[in-house]
Amino acid sequence: MASTRRRWLAGCGAAAWCLAAAPAWAQFVELIERTKPSILIVGTYKATNSPRFNLRGTGFVVGDGNLAITNAHVLPTSGEPSDGSDLVVQVRQGRELQMRTVTVLEIDRLRDLALLRFSGEPAPALALADSDAVKEGQTIAYTGFPIGGALGFSPVTHRGMVSSITPIVLPAANDQRLSARSIRSARDGSFDIFQLDGTAYPGNSGGPVFDPASGAVVAVINMVYVRGTRESALSQPSGITYAIPANFIVPLLQRHQGQPR
């Protein structure tokens, strides 16, 4: 009799938890659907290439709806061989993807961030959260195009948590020389990053990490510079994902928000 009562109470507890969790889960499903039009495919395009479009990473819409954030390393560099391809983003409009031309407004090499302006009609912008308020153990979600679009050009969303908040210095791109300036930059350029317990891939680079309750962006996925710095001694990459806090986006927006298109 006692064991029957315990099973009954356990069943009631599970049912109550399910009833309580159902609204939150339904809200998260709706949030993913609302977020998709704000997720951009960043790549290069040339009509004579095969394929014509080459995915380089993920971006997301901010500010006035024609601004976007991605990782700086997602963009072609001056030292990279060029075939004349144009930098573009693909914006989701309903079930269709529209290709838009891009202007690079500013690059923050220290934190591997880039602010872009894309042409055409604005897309829904994601709000930015105060990343200084993020705590270890906090639940997050992130969206992007893993494995460089090998799984298709539909945004993929994962859930996880902030496993750790730890300081890092990102390496300067294409600069292998030590100088007084680079050493001083490394000393002064340390900042906190988020380690996440979910696994992301290079195609996720530049994608948003957001609060699954509000949808506000707390960080930007970084899968190249940070991993190369933190895990260069590993022959096999771990499942750790790194992200740059969203507060570093704010100065970029403040310098360019409201400028003529």
Distance from C-alpha of 65 to C-alpha of 252, rounded to nearest angstrom: 15
Percentage, residues of the chain above pLDDT 90: 57
- Does residue 148 sit in the same domain as residue 223? yes
Q: Is the pLDDT of residue 204 over 60?
A: yes
- Does residue 156 sit in the same domain as residue 91? no
Residue 27 maps to a domain: no
Q: Which amino acid is at 25?
A: W
Q: Give the pLDDT confidence score for residue 227 in this predicted structure.
A: 57
Output the domain CATH number for residue 240.
2.40.10.10
- Does residue 145 sit in the same domain as residue 241? yes
- Does residue 195 sit in the same domain as residue 238? yes
| Count of Cβ atoms closer than 10 Å to residue 144 Cβ | 27
Residue 113 maps to a domain: yes
Q: Give the pLDDT confidence score for residue 149 in this predicted structure.
A: 62
Mean pLDDT, range 61-65, rounded to an integer: 96
Which residues span the domain enclosing 71? 36-125
- Does residue 84 sit in the same domain as residue 148? no
Last residue of a domain, one of 96, 125, 154: 125
Last residue of a domain, one of 76, 95, 125: 125
Contact 168, 226 (CB under 8 A): yes
Last residue of a domain, one of 93, 125, 157: 125
Instruction: Give the DSSP letter of residue 185.
Output: H
164-193 tens-digit pLDDT: 999 887 665 544 444 454 445 455 568 899
Domain count, the chain: 2
- Tokens 């969203």 correspond to 246
CA atoms within 13 A on the CB side of 2: 0
Residue 155 maps to a domain: yes
